[in-house]
Amino acid sequence: MSSEHLALARALHVCAIVMWIGGVAFVTTVLLPSVRRLKEPQQRVAFFEAIEGRFAWQARATTLLAGATGFYLTWVWDLWERFTNPQFWWMHAMVAIWLLFTVMLFVAEPLFLHRWFIERARREPERVFRRIERMHWLLLTLSVATVIGAVAGSHGGLN
């Protein structure tokens, strides 16, 4: 593989991660607190769903790009052995975070999660919104820890 192809794949991978996890950070630290302050409990989930629905397409596209480029780079550089070494825990973390978001975005949300949240929000809007906030903070925390580990690890900082 030429160095230009590898540089492009790596750049696309990093860009996908920045767009994806940056979007999660925006939703978690800006959008959700704003919705909490500006909307009544009965309106919060519906308003959040309307706004986040637009982001979901970006999140789906960027998680697909991150997965495709990550797999490509692992294959081209033959990094499979890293998955057998605990020293490269961040490789496992990257796959786990990617898999978690992929299942959420492509399976759970369209098949049942969206309907479940809407139904629960009709009965307990405040509780559902708090659950959404907690879930986003958990996902953001795990994602940021993974990004830090992956950057440090891929540059020899954890070896």
The single-letter code of the amino acid at 22 is G
Q: Dig out the tokens for 6 from the structure.
A: 């590898």
pLDDT above 80 (res 42): no
Give the whole-angstrom CA distance, residue 100 versus residue 113.
14
- Please provide the average confidence, as pLDDT, over all residues in the chain: 92
Residue 4 exposed, middle or buried by CB count within 10 Å (0-12, 13-18, 19+): exposed
Instruction: Specify the DSSP class assigned to residue 39.
Output: S
Say what the pLDDT of residue 103 is: 97
The letter for the amino acid at 142 is L
Mean pLDDT, residues 76-105 taken together: 96
Interhelix angle 89-103/41-76, nearest 10 degrees? 130
Residues 6+ apart with CB under 8 A from 23: 55, 58, 59, 62
Rounded mean pLDDT, 84-103: 96
Give the pTM.
0.90
Length reported for the chain: 159
Confidence tier at 1 by pLDDT (50, 70, 90): low
pLDDT of amino acid 10:
95
Q: Is-contact 101 20, C-beta < 8 A? A: yes
Evaluate if residue 49 carries a pLDDT over 70.
yes
